[in-house]
């Protein structure tokens, strides 16, 4: 595991890229966004203790959303290979539970993006206004 210090508004990973790492947020905030037609939709605001990039926990997947830091952020990076080595020793039921939880999160984030709603429990419309969306689209281009 490697500790990373990420600056404000830095791309951590992009939707559609090969999911080869997951990240534990140790400090700061990371906004997770899905592309939906011509919009970026916030689907999760990761804070201290949260994990992002969970697609890397399942073999041969891509990231299902993009992640951009919203503050100076400290992350603990775990490679997919390292995770799988440790996880392979876990009981089968734990693997099934983890896969189910990841799938549920992905389904929920897809629903949020499909309905193109910015939910205030994720981020306020003032904090994610049209200029921020334009700026983030440029970062992800």
**Which CATH number belongs to the domain containing residue 93 in this structure?**
2.60.120.10
> Has residue 86 been placed in a domain?
yes
**Nearest CA to 12 among 59, 50, 39, 58?**
50
Domain that holds residue 106: 2-128
> Has residue 76 been placed in a domain?
yes
User: What confidence score (pLDDT) does residue 85 get?
Assistant: 87
79-88 residue pLDDT tens: 988 888 888 8
> Has residue 137 been placed in a domain?
no
pTM for the model:
0.88
> Has residue 9 been placed in a domain?
yes
> Has residue 104 been placed in a domain?
yes
Regions of the chain where pLDDT drops below 70: 59-60
> Has residue 134 been placed in a domain?
no
> Has residue 141 been placed in a domain?
no
CB within 8 Å of 22: residues ≥ 6 apart: 51, 52, 53, 54, 55, 56, 57, 77, 78, 80, 83
> Has residue 51 been placed in a domain?
yes
Domains: count for the chain: 1
User: What confidence score (pLDDT) does residue 91 get?
Assistant: 92
């Amino acid at each position: 595991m490697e500790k990373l210090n990420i600056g404000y508004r830095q791309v951590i990973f992009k939707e559609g890229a090969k999911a080869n790492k997951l990240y534990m947020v140790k400090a700061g905030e990371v906004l997770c966004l899905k592309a939906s037609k011509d919009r970026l939709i916030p689907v999760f605001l990761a804070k201290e203790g949260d994990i992002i990039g969970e697609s890397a926990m399942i073999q041969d997947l891509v990231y299902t959303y993009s992640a951009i830091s919203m503050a100076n952020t400290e992350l603990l990076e775990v490679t997919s290979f390292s995770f799988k080595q440790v996880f392979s020793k876990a009981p089968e039921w734990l693997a099934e539970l983890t896969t189910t939880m990841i799938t549920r999160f992905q389904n929920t984030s897809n629903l949020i993006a499909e309905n193109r709603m910015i939910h205030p429990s994720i981020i306020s419309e003032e904090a994610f206004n049209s200029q921020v969306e334009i700026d983030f689209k440029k970062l992800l281009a």
